[in-house]
Amino acid sequence: MTLSVTAPSLTTPSGAAHQMADAWRRQTSLRRFYTVLGVGLLLAAMLASMWFADEANAGHFFDRLPHILDFLSWLVPKDWNDVWRALFDIASPHDNGSQEFNFPLGRVYVWGGFYVPEYFELMLTTVNVALVSTVIGFVLAVPFSFIAARNLTPHPLLRLVVKRVMELLRAFPEIVIAGLFAAIVSIGPIAAIIAIGLHSIGALGKLFYEINENIDMRAEEGLRAVGANWFERVRFADLPQVLPNFMSYTLLRVEINVRASTIIGAVGGGGIGEELKLSISRGFGAKTLALVLLLFTTIFIIDQFSAWLRRKLVGEQAFMMGA
C-alpha cells in the first residue's frame, strides 16, 4: 500500500483565513490611498481658490489674511456689564447720546412702568414667525404626504403632480423666496412667514411621505375590505401609525425655522435678525453680544425642549444607536 502526502489546500480554514487577511490588507491600503488622494485634492483646490482670490483682489488677499479676526476686537465692550444692560434695556453710565448706548429707548411698555426689553420682544417675533410657518407647513404637508406615498396615493398622476410641487417648494432657499414676496407684500414678518412656510411644506412633505411608504399595510387592507373610502382609510388606518413620527419631524423643523427666521430677518423679515445685522454693521459690541447671547439661549432652550418632547412621542429607543 502506497502512502501519499499532499500539501494543505487553500480551502482549509487556515488558508481561508490567510485569504481574508490579505483581502482586508488590500482593502485597507486602497482606502488609505483614496483618503490621501482626497485630502491632497482638497488642499490643492483650497490653494487654487486662495490664489484666485489673491489675483481677484489685486494681490491684497494674502496681505490681509493675518487680519482676518481683527473684527472681533470691536466686539469686546469697554464695560462687560453693558451686555446685560443692553439685554434688559437698563441705562448705561457710558451713555453719550449715541445709539450705541441708548438701551432704555427700546423698551416696549406693556402696563404702566412694566416693560418688555426690546430684544426679548424681537426674539418673540422671530419665534412666532417660526411657529406659524411650521404650522402652515405641517397642515399642508400631511395631506400632500399621503397623496405622494406610492402605497397610499389615490391616483398615480396626482402623486406625480404633488411630488413635483413639493420638490419645487423646497428647491429654493427660504431667503430667496422671502426676497420675492418682500417685493409683493413689502418687508416684514409676513414675507418671512410665507417663505419659511412654503419651504416647510416641501421639506416636511418629503419626510412625511417617506414615513408613509414604510407603514404596516394590514390595517389599510382591512378597511379596504369592508368598503372604506380613501379618506377613511387614511384617517383611521394610516394616520394613527405615523402621527408620532410626524410630530417628531415637525418639532425638529421648528428648530430649523427659528434659525431661518433669524437669517431672513437680517434682510428685512423683521425680528431679531434685522437688529443683529444693524448692530454688527455699526460696530456696537455690547448690543451685538447681547443679541448673540439671547439668540443662543433661545435656540438652546427650544432644542432641549424639542428633544425631550420628541422622546415622549416616539420613544427613547428611537434615539438609541442600534435600537
> Is residue 275 within 8 Å of residue 122, measured between CB atoms?
yes
Per-residue pLDDT band at 257 (split at 50, 70, 90): very high
pLDDT digits (tens, 9 = 90+) for 61-72: 667 767 777 767
> Is residue 301 within 8 Å of residue 293, measured between CB atoms?
no
The lowest-confidence range among 9-18, 50-59, 212-221 is 9-18
List of E strands, the chain: 108-111, 114-116
Residue 153 CB partners (closer than 8 Å, separation 6+): 146, 147, 159
> Is residue 164 within 8 Å of residue 134, measured between CB atoms?
no
pLDDT digits (tens, 9 = 90+) for 169-220: 999 888 888 888 877 877 778 889 999 999 999 999 999 999 999 998 898 8
According to DSSP, the β-strands at 114-116 and 108-111 are: antiparallel
> Is residue 255 within 8 Å of residue 299, measured between CB atoms?
yes
Q: Both ends of the chain: CA-CA distance in Å? A: 62
pLDDT digits (tens, 9 = 90+) for 192-204: 999 999 999 999 9
Phi, psi angle pair for 153, to nearest 5°: -60, 140
pTM of the model: 0.76
> Is residue 262 within 8 Å of residue 276, measured between CB atoms?
yes
DSSP 24-90: HHHHHHHHHHHHHHHHHHHHHHHHHHHHHHHHHTTT-HHHHGGGTTGGGGGGS-SSTHHHHHHHHTP
**Higher per-residue pLDDT: 96 or 73:** 96
Distance from C-alpha of 49 to C-alpha of 56, rounded to nearest angstrom: 10
CA-closest candidate to residue 93, choices 103, 108, 288, 109:
103
The cell 414676496 sits on which residue? 181
Distance from C-alpha of 207 to C-alpha of 186, rounded to nearest angstrom: 32
The lowest-confidence range among 24-33, 162-171, 312-321 is 312-321
167: cell is 420638490
Q: How open is the CA angle 303-304-310, to the nearest 5 degrees?
A: 85
Distance from C-alpha of 71 to C-alpha of 274, rounded to nearest angstrom: 20
For 306-315, what is the mean pLDDT? 81
204: cell is 416636511
